[in-house]
């Protein structure tokens, strides 16, 4: 049996006086994460949509250290607002140490619904699917890029910045058929993997959390039935603890912690260790050799724009 990741509560003391940006920080997992870091003496920047101001203000008033928290209304798809978020965090607290890319949504209607047609019987475009992928993937990419930029430091700095991407078990499994959400969370896992080279250069650690069923607005329609069926659900507080642990553990780089109740497993390093038995040692060796090839070229050579791409 694969052992659980041992969470170390003593590590949480390392959060004291650090500045943490949490997107989607006013509700659900984001709110629980805000509370946990604040309890440990961290400065918290709650980034969420403007309509969430009431929830954010109530959350901040309820914190053990309200003066150490601020709400900055932010749409993670708006580059100007995101840039302002990071600049304002620096202005308020003087540094940015941890960024939790938590904001995300799930579609409210099936993306692959073949019955979604107009009056002529023509299939309608899935604007709902685009919205989910934009927020969950583009928004996370915006957060990741800005965090790398603003937390970049010299290798001599012993503890560089830390980014936690909130993925999902849907980033590894797709059986629910929730196509927009599943595709977007697979994309978040792709960002985790593809960002490691840039993160190393920036002296920033990028890790991820992949929670299973957690009672939030996304699961509200079925979480009670889930529990009645005898299945264990996460708590927002339990997921928050895993986020804080992985953000503060300086030994973790490129890791992803999957959490489902009492089951807390690291999946990226396990995947890498089992790659040979899964795909065959010859293919794994080919990928390793290919990686060195592109590294010697100074990175993957990007294609030039074609004439037909100029207006895209």
Query: Which amino acids are annotated catalytic?
Result: 181
How distant, in Å, are the alpha carbons of 51, 59, 159, 203 from that of 156?
A: 42, 37, 9, 9
Residues 6 or more apart whose Cβ sits within 8 Å of residue 269: 254, 255
Map residue 22 onto helix, strand or coil.
strand
CA distance 48 to 57: 11
Which position has the token pair 């080919």? 286
The neighbouring-strand residues paired with 257 are: 209, 266
In whole angstroms, what is the distance from residue 299 CA to residue 46 CA?
36
Tell me if 7 sits within 8 A of 241, measured CB to CB: yes
The Cα 279–Cα 121 span in angstroms is 44
DSSP 8-state symbol, 94:
S
Task: Find, among 103, 81, 79, 91, the residue nearest to 30 by Cα.
Answer: 103
State the Cα–Cα distance between residues 274 and 196, nearest whole angstrom.
20
- Sheet order of strands, 161-166 included: 69-73, 43-48, 19-23, 98-101, 161-166, 204-211, 256-260, 263-266
Angle between helices 28-39 and 236-248 (to 10 degrees): 60
């Amino acid at each position: 049996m694969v052992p659980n990741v041992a969470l170390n509560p003593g590590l949480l003391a390392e959060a004291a006086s650090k500045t943490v940006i949490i997107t989607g920080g006013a509700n659900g997992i984001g709110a629980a994460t805000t509370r946990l870091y604040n309890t440990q003496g961290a400065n918290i920047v709650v980034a969420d949509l403007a309509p969430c101001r009431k929830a954010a203000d109530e959350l901040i008033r309820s914190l053990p250290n309200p003066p150490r928290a601020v709400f900055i209304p932010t749409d993670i798809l708006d580059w100007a607002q995101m840039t302002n978020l990071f600049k304002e965090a620096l202005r308020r607290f003087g540094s940015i140490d941890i960024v939790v890319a938590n904001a995300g949504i799930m579609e409210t209607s099936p993306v692959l619904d073949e019955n979604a047609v107009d009056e002529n019987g023509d299939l309608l475009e899935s604007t709902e699917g685009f919205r989910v992928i934009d927020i969950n993937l583009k928004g996370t990419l915006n957060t990741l890029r800005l965090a790398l930029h603003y937390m970049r430091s010299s290798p001599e700095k012993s503890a560089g910045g830390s980014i936690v991407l909130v993925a999902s078990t849907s980033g590894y499994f797709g059986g629910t058929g929730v196509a927009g959400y599943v595709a977007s969370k697979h994309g978040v896992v792709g960002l985790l993997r593809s960002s490691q080279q840039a993160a190393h250069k920036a002296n920033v650690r990028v890790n991820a959390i992949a929670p299973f069923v957690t009672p939030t607005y996304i699961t509200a329609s079925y979480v009670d039935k889930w529990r009645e069926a005898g299945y264990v659900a996460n708590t927002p507080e339990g997921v928050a603890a895993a986020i804080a642990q992985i953000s503060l553990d300086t030994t973790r780089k490129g890791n992803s912690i999957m959490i489902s109740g009492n089951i807390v497993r690291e999946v990226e390093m396990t995947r890498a260790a089992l790659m040979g038995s899964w795909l065959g040692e010859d293919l794994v060796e080919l990928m390793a050799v290919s990686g060195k090839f592109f590294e010697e070229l100074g990175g993957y050579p990007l294609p030039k724009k074609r004439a037909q791409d100029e207006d895209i």
